[in-house]
Chain A
Amino acid sequence: MNRILHTLLALMSHWRRKPLQLVALLGGLMIATALWSGVQALNAQAKTNYDNAARLLGGDAVPSIALESGGRFDERAFAQLRRAGWKVSPILEGRIHINETSLRILGIEPLTLPPAAGISAGGGLGPAVFEGFMRPPWRALASAETIELLGEDTGTLPPLTASEGIAPRMLIMDIGAAQAVLDASGQISRLLLDPAAAQPGTPLAQAAALPLTITENEAQGDLNRLTQSFHLNLTAFGMLAFLVGLFIVYSAIALAFEQRLPMMRTLRALGISARMLTAVMLAELVTLALLAGVVGVVGGYLIASALMPNVAASLDGLYGADVAGTLSLEPEWWLMGIAISVIGAVGAAGYSLLKAYRMPPLASARRYAWREAQKVWLSLQGGIAVVLLALAAILMLTADGLIAGFASLAALLVGSALMLPPALAVILSAGQGMARRPLSQWFWADSQQQLSGLSIALMALLLALGANIGVGTMVEGFRDTFNDWLDQRLVSEVYFDARTDDEAAQIEAWLANRDDVNAVLPTLKTEVRMGGLPVIVTGFRVHESYRNSWPMIDIAPDAFDRVAAGDAAFVSEQLANRLDLSLDDPIEIGSWPLIVAGIYPDYGNPKGHISVEIGAMRAKLPDAERGDYGLRVAPKDTGALILAMRDTFGMDDSALIDQSALKSYSKGVFESTFAVTAALNVLTMAVAGFALFMSLLTLAEMRLPQLAPLWAAGVTRRGLAGMELLKTLGMALLTAILAIPLGLAVAWCLVAVVNVQAFGWRLPFHLFPMQWVQLIGLALLTAALAAAWPIWSLRRMPPVRLVRVFTDER
C-alpha cells in the first residue's frame, strides 16, 4: 500500500512541474465528456418528448380505432364498443389559436384511459392538479411555459393548471372540455384500445354502427424517421467533438509519458514492478478522468441547457415536432457521462500504458529519429486518407438511404482531416525549397517539424471550417431558394379561414360584391395515405395567378388545363421521390385515377402533397374539408380589405392574414429551423481553438531547445515571437484555404445526397465566396487567440531560461 502511494505521489509530482499538461489532459477530457454528454442529453430529451407525444397519441403500444375515411365521429360509438366488450377510451384532438399561439388540444377520458396510454402528467404532481378535471368548469393541464406563453387572457379555455412532462403548446383536458373548446359537441377523433385487455368475441364491424378500423399508430414512426437525420447529425457532431477531445487527451498523455520516462526508469530501478507501475499509472489516470468527468458532465448539462431552446426550435421548424425547451435528465445520464470520460481516458492512454508496461528499466541509447518517423506517419496517414476519400466519392455517387449519405459525409470529413498533414507537408517543403534567406528557410523547415505536434489541432480546425462552410453553404442556399419559393408560392395578397360553412358562404357572397377583390381562390383539403405515407390533398381553383407563378421542377405541356379538367394532378417533390413518380405516371387517390402533370418543390413539409382541381375534388372526395381562401387584391387595397373583413365578420389574426405577415412568419420559422446549426458552428470552432491552444502551449515548452540556438545566434526574442505567430497564422491560413474545397464537398453532399434522402427534396447549389472570406478571417482570429499566450510568454521569457537550455541536463 505504502509502495503504491509513494509511486503515485512520485508520478503525480510531474503535474506540479508541468501544470499545462495537466490542464490539457483535464481540459481535453472535459471537452470530450461535456460535448458528448451534452449531445446525448439533447437527443435523450428530444426522444423523451417524442415518446411522450407518441404515447399521448396512443403511440406504438396502443392501437387506435378510427373512422376508415378519417375525421371525427359520433361519440356514441364509444359506449357501443364498451358494451360489446371492447376496452376502448375516447380521444378528441384538435388545434385552436389563442393569442396568436397555435395550441394542440388533447381531450381524454381519464376513467377508461388504458394504463399503456400513460400521459406524463404523473411524476411529482399533487392530487390538487386534478381537482375539477372531470366536470365543468373543467381544468386544462399544460406545461408551465405554455401557460406563460398564453398569458392572462385565455379566452374560452378552462382554467389552466401547470403540469410537468406535457409537450409545449399542448393542452390536456377532459374530453367533455375538449368538445366545448373545439366546438365538437358529441364528437371524438378516435378510440384507444387497451392492448392489455382481451379482444372480445364481437367483431368491430358488428359492435359499432360506423365503418371503423383498427390502426397501429404510426405517428411516432413518422416522427422518428423524420427527425432521425437531425439526431444523426447531432450525434455525429458529438462524436466528432468527443474524438477531438480524446486526441487532445492522447497527445497530453503521450507527452507526459515521454517526459516521465526518466522518472519511471528510476522507479523501476528502485524496485517497482512494471505491473505495479502500470497499475498506478492507470489509477492516476482514472482519478483524473473521474474528476474531469464530473466537471465535463456539468459542462455537458450547461451546453445542453443552452442549446435546448435552439434544438427545440429547429425540430419544430423542420418537422413540427413539439419538444420542450427545457431539460430533465435521468441519473443514468450523469453516470454515463462520467463513465465515458473514464473509458475515453483509458482508451486514449492505452498505448502509453502498454509502453510503460513493456518498458525495460534501462534506457536504450537509440536516438529518436523524428524525421523518418514523420515520413512514415505522413505516408501512412496519406494512404488511409486516399482510401477514405475514394470511399466517400463512391458512396456519394451511389448513396441510397440516409445512413449511406452520412457515411459518405463521415468518410469525406475524416479522409480530408487525415489528408491535411501530408498536404501541408508537401506545401511546406515546397516553400522551403523556394526560401533563400536563412530565417525564411528555418521558418519553413521548422513549420514542417512542428507539423506533427500541431496536426491534430489543425485537423480539428479543418473539420470545423469544413463543416462551417458546408453547412453555411447549404443553409444560405436554402434561404435564397426558400425566399424565392415563398415569393412565388404565396400568390394571394390575403388569406382567410372561415369558421363554419355558413360563414364561408356569407364571406364569399360579401366578397363577390367588392370591386377591390380581383379573384377569390378557395381550397379544399383532406389527408389520405399513399404507399403508407400521410399525404395532404389540396383542391385549388385553376387560375391565372397560379399559371404564372407556381414554381415547378418539372411540368408537362398544357399541365394546368389537364388539371383543370380533373384528370391530372401536381405532386410535391418529396412525394414524387418517395413513390418514385415522374411526369405522366398514374396515381390513385382512393379510387380517383390521376396523371402526374407537374412536380413542384414543397420545402420543409414532412408530409406528401398533391394538388388537384377543386371542383373535381369536391365531387371525388366528398369528405374533404374546406381549407384556406386566397384573395387577389391590389397591394394598395390590402389593408382596407382586411380591416373591412375584420369588422364585418369579427375575424381575428389567426383567421385572417396578409401575405407579408405570412412571409415573415415563414421566414421566422426558417430562421429558427437552423438556429441550432449556428450554435453548433460556434462550438466546433471553439473546440478547434482549444485544441490549437493546448497544442501550442505544450509545443511551446518542448520547443525551447529549437528556439534557443536561434536566440543565441542573435535573433531577438521579439523576432522569434513574431515568427512563431506568423507560422501559426500561416498554418491556419493554409488549413482554411484547404477547408474551402472540403466545405464545398460537404455542402454538395448535404444538398444533393443527405437532404434528398432525409427530406425528399434537393436544393440548388450556390456558392457564397464572402462566407469563405469571413471564415478564413475567423480561422486566423482563432489561431491568433490560441497562439497569443504562448507567444506572449516567449517574448517575455527571461534570458536565463533560454540559457538554461544549453546547460541543463536533459
Chain B
Amino acid sequence: MLAIRDLTKSYDTLQGPLNVLRGVDLDVEAGASLSLMGESGSGKSTLLHLVAGLDAADAGTIMLGNMDITALDDAGRAKLRRSRIGLVFQQFNLIPSLSVAANMAFQAQLAGRLDTAWQDELVDRLGLGDLLTRYPEQLSGGQQQRVAIGRTFAVRPDLILADEPTGNLDEESGDAVMHLALELVARTGCTFMMVTHSARLAAMLDRQVTLVQGRLA
C-alpha cells in the first residue's frame, strides 16, 4: 500500500541547511494502522507532510499503491490530497467561514464523491447531529476535531494521516476522539498513520515506529 524508500528532506535555515529526513525506508500494508513517534525535531511531522503531498521531497520515493507521490507536481499533489488522502491536524482543520455541515461535505464535494447516506452515518457516529448549522468558532476543541475527522472520512480516502490530532485536547475528549477515529478506520478499512508524542495513544494502533534524527530507529 505505502512504500517509502530512501526519503530525504532538508530545510534552509539561517544556520545553514537542516537535514530533517536522512533516508527513511518504511512500508505500510493496506488497512494497517501505524504510529510515528520521536522527539521534537526528529522529522516525524515532515515525513507525514511529505506522504500527504503537502511538500516535495528532496530525494527518494513514496509509492502510494503504484503512484509515486514524489514525482507529482503541485496540481498533482493537490489532486492527491483531494481524492485519496485524509488529513487531521492538531488545529485549524476547519474552514471558519463555512458551517459544520458545509465543512463536513467540503472535501467530498471537491473530490466529486459526496455520498449523503454515508454523510448521515458519519454525522450519526460522530454525534454531530445538533451541531450541523453551527460554525467552527462556536464549537469546543473536541467537537472541532470530530468534525475534522468526519470531513476526512467523508471522502473515503485510501490513507488517513493525523498529526497530533488530540494534541490540543484534554485526555478525556482526546481519547473519545481517538476511539471514534479508530472505529471509522475499522469500518472503512483504510490505512491510518498518526504522529504522536503519547506512548499511550500509540499503543492503540497496530504498529509503532520511532524516528531518531531523521532515520527510523
Whether A and B touch directly in their complex, counting CB atoms under 8 A apart, is answered as: yes
Binding site for B on A (CB under 8 A): 367-371, 437-439, 441-442, 445-446, 448-449, 705-706, 708-719, 799-800, 802-803, 805-807, 810
What does the 1/0 interface line of B80-104 toward A look like (CB < 8 Å)? Answer: 1111000101111111111000100
A368 to B135, CA, bound (A): 12
Residue B79 at the chain A interface, CB threshold 8 Å = yes
A445 to B74, CA, bound (A): 26
Report yes or no: A807 in contact with B105, Cβ–Cβ below 8 A: no
Report yes or no: A438 in contact with B106, Cβ–Cβ below 8 A: yes
Q: Are A708 and B92 also in contact (CB < 8 A) when A438-B109, A448-B97, A807-B45 are?
A: yes
Q: Which of A712, A716, A810 contacts B54 (CB 8 A)?
A: A712
Q: Are A442 and B54 also in contact (CB < 8 A) when A705-B92, A713-B82, A716-B75 are?
A: no
Report yes or no: A714 in contact with B82, Cβ–Cβ below 8 A: yes
Report yes or no: B109 in contact with A715, Cβ–Cβ below 8 A: no
Q: Are A800 and B89 also in contact (CB < 8 A) when A437-B109, A714-B111, A807-B163 are?
A: no
A367 to B137, CA, bound (A): 7
From residue 87 to 132 of chain B, which have CB atoms closer than 8 A to chain A? 87, 89-98, 102, 105-107, 109-111
Report yes or no: A709 in contact with B75, Cβ–Cβ below 8 A: no
Report yes or no: B55 in contact with A799, Cβ–Cβ below 8 A: yes
Collect the chain A residues with CB atoms within 8 Å of residue B188's CB. none
Report yes or no: A716 in contact with B78, Cβ–Cβ below 8 A: yes
Chain B, residue nearest A369 (CB): B137
Q: Are A371 and B135 also in contact (CB < 8 A) when A712-B87, A716-B78, A800-B11 are?
A: yes
Instruction: State how many residues of chain B have any CB contact under 8 Å with chain A.
Output: 38
Residue B49 at the chain A interface, CB threshold 8 Å = yes
Q: Can you name 27 A-B pairs with beta carbons within 8 Å?
A: A369-B137, A371-B138, A438-B109, A441-B98, A442-B95, A445-B98, A446-B95, A446-B97, A449-B96, A705-B92, A705-B96, A706-B96, A712-B54, A712-B87, A714-B81, A714-B83, A714-B110, A799-B54, A799-B55, A799-B56, A800-B11, A803-B49, A803-B54, A806-B91, A806-B93, A806-B163, A807-B45
Report yes or no: A442 in contact with B81, Cβ–Cβ below 8 A: no
Collect the chain B residues with CB atoms within 8 Å of residue A370's CB. 137
Q: Are A439 and B110 also in contact (CB < 8 A) when A709-B92, A709-B93, A717-B74 are?
A: yes
Binding site for A on B (CB under 8 A): 11, 45, 49, 52, 54-56, 74-75, 78-83, 87, 89-98, 102, 105-107, 109-111, 135, 137-138, 151, 163
A448 to B97, CA, bound (A): 8
A343 to B181, CA, bound (A): 57
Report yes or no: B105 in contact with A438, Cβ–Cβ below 8 A: yes
Q: Which of B11, B89, B97 contacts A442 (CB 8 A)?
A: B97
A708-B92, A711-B78, A712-B54 are known contacts; what are 14 more A-B pairs with Cβ within 8 Å? A371-B138, A438-B106, A441-B98, A713-B82, A713-B107, A713-B151, A714-B78, A714-B83, A714-B111, A715-B82, A715-B110, A716-B78, A800-B55, A803-B54
The 3 A-B residue pairs whose C-beta atoms are closest, nearest first, are: A714-B82, A806-B89, A438-B109
Report yes or no: A806 in contact with B79, Cβ–Cβ below 8 A: no
Number of A-B contacts (CB under 8 A): 95
A370 to B97, CA, bound (A): 10
Interface of A: prevailing SS: helix
A184 to B190, CA, bound (A): 109
A718 to B79, CA, bound (A): 13
Q: Are A706 and B97 also in contact (CB < 8 A) when A714-B82, A806-B92, A806-B163 are?
A: yes
What distance in Å separates the Cβ of B149 from its nearest Cβ neighbour in chain A? 14
What distance in Å separates the Cβ of A433 from its nearest Cβ neighbour in chain B? 12
A806 to B78, CA, bound (A): 17
Q: Which of A369, A442, A799 contacts B106 (CB 8 A)?
A: A442
Q: Are A710 and B95 also in contact (CB < 8 A) when A803-B49, A806-B163, A807-B45 are?
A: yes
What distance in Å separates the Cβ of A184 from its nearest Cβ neighbour in chain B? 80
What distance in Å separates the Cβ of B144 from its nearest Cβ neighbour in chain A? 11
Collect the chain A residues with CB atoms within 8 Å of residue B45's CB. 807
What distance in Å separates the Cβ of B87 from its nearest Cβ neighbour in chain A? 5
Chain B, residue nearest A444 (CB): B97
Collect the chain B residues with CB atoms within 8 Å of residue A799's CB. 54-56
A118 to B213, CA, bound (A): 88
Q: Which of A369, A441, A712, A800 has the most CB of B within 10 A?
A: A712
A60 to B87, CA, bound (A): 81
What distance in Å separates the Cβ of A690 from its nearest Cβ neighbour in chain B? 27
What distance in Å separates the Cβ of B26 from its nearest Cβ neighbour in chain A? 20
Report yes or no: A369 in contact with B138, Cβ–Cβ below 8 A: yes
A330 to B96, CA, bound (A): 54
A370 to B81, CA, bound (A): 30
A448 to B163, CA, bound (A): 31
A718 to B106, CA, bound (A): 19
Report yes or no: A712 in contact with B95, Cβ–Cβ below 8 A: no
A668 to B180, CA, bound (A): 80
Collect the chain A residues with CB atoms within 8 Å of residue B82's CB. 713-715
What distance in Å separates the Cβ of B155 from its nearest Cβ neighbour in chain A? 9
A714 to B107, CA, bound (A): 8
Report yes or no: B102 in contact with A441, Cβ–Cβ below 8 A: yes
A802 to B109, CA, bound (A): 22
Collect the chain B residues with CB atoms within 8 Å of residue A449's CB. 96-97
Collect the chain A residues with CB atoms within 8 Å of residue B106's CB. 438, 442, 713
What distance in Å separates the Cβ of A405 from its nearest Cβ neighbour in chain B? 43
A706 to B94, CA, bound (A): 8
Q: Which of B52, B74, B87, B102 contacts A438 (CB 8 A)?
A: B102
Q: Which of A437, A445, A807 has the most CB of B within 10 A?
A: A807
What distance in Å separates the Cβ of B152 from its nearest Cβ neighbour in chain A? 9
Q: Are A445 and B97 also in contact (CB < 8 A) when A438-B106, A438-B109, A714-B110 are?
A: yes
Collect the chain B residues with CB atoms within 8 Å of residue A717's CB. 74
Q: Are A806 and B98 also in contact (CB < 8 A) when A369-B137, A371-B135, A716-B78 are?
A: no
What distance in Å separates the Cβ of A429 from its nearest Cβ neighbour in chain B? 12
What distance in Å separates the Cβ of B159 from its nearest Cβ neighbour in chain A? 13
Collect the chain A residues with CB atoms within 8 Å of residue B111's CB. 714
What distance in Å separates the Cβ of B120 from its nearest Cβ neighbour in chain A? 18
A594 to B41, CA, bound (A): 100
Report yes or no: B92 in contact with A805, Cβ–Cβ below 8 A: yes
Collect the chain B residues with CB atoms within 8 Å of residue A711's CB. 78
Report yes or no: B95 in contact with A709, Cβ–Cβ below 8 A: yes
Chain B, residue nearest A810 (CB): B91
A438 to B79, CA, bound (A): 16
A706 to B81, CA, bound (A): 17
Collect the chain B residues with CB atoms within 8 Å of residue A712's CB. 52, 54, 81, 87, 89
A64 to B29, CA, bound (A): 108
Collect the chain B residues with CB atoms within 8 Å of residue A716's CB. 74-75, 78
A449 to B55, CA, bound (A): 29
A202 to B68, CA, bound (A): 114
What distance in Å separates the Cβ of A139 from its nearest Cβ neighbour in chain B? 73
Collect the chain A residues with CB atoms within 8 Å of residue B97's CB. 442, 445-446, 448-449, 706
Chain B, residue nearest A705 (CB): B92
Chain B, residue nearest A806 (CB): B89
What distance in Å separates the Cβ of B130 from its nearest Cβ neighbour in chain A? 18
Q: Which of B56, B81, B90 contacts A713 (CB 8 A)?
A: B81
